[in-house]
Amino acid sequence: MRLWECASLIRSKNAGPFWLTFDVMFSAAPPYEHVKRSGVLTAERFAELYGLHVEDVDAFECDQALAFKFSIPRPRIQGDFGDADMHGGQQYAPLLEIEVPQP
């Protein structure tokens, strides 16, 4: 099972002009808990997918929100010459294909 098949929303967005933030959200506790326990969605995995150093990735598991959050410094300042995603909204696609083991 791939991550997009069990999450309710996977999104990215600016967190101000200098940061990007990624949310992986679930609509029920069982799939969230399952993904959390499986250990497939970690700062290390995120850094590997995006070609970053793991120390540049802030990772959070938000139990009440049933969500994972990752924040990274923007590779380019929002809207600077060369930036092609003003709102940071289309940076999440590599997360969709993360393979989640069957429960």
Which residue ranges make up the site for another protein (CB under 8 A)?
13-19, 21, 23, 25, 27, 49-51, 58, 60, 62, 64-67, 69, 71, 73, 75-87, 90-91, 93-94
Distance of closest approach, residue 92 Cβ to another protein, in angstroms: 10
Residue 62 β-bridge partners: 67
Distance of closest approach, residue 40 Cβ to another protein, in angstroms: 16
Are the beta carbons of 24 and 95 closer than 8 angstroms?
A: yes
Pick 76 or 102: Cβ nearer another protein: 76
Distance CA 48, CA 77 (A): 22
Cβ neighbours of residue 73 closer than 8 Å, sequence gap 6 or more:
18, 19, 20, 56
Distance of closest approach, residue 37 Cβ to another protein, in angstroms: 19
Task: Give the three-state DSSP class for 22.
Answer: strand
Pick 50 or 102: Cβ nearer another protein: 50
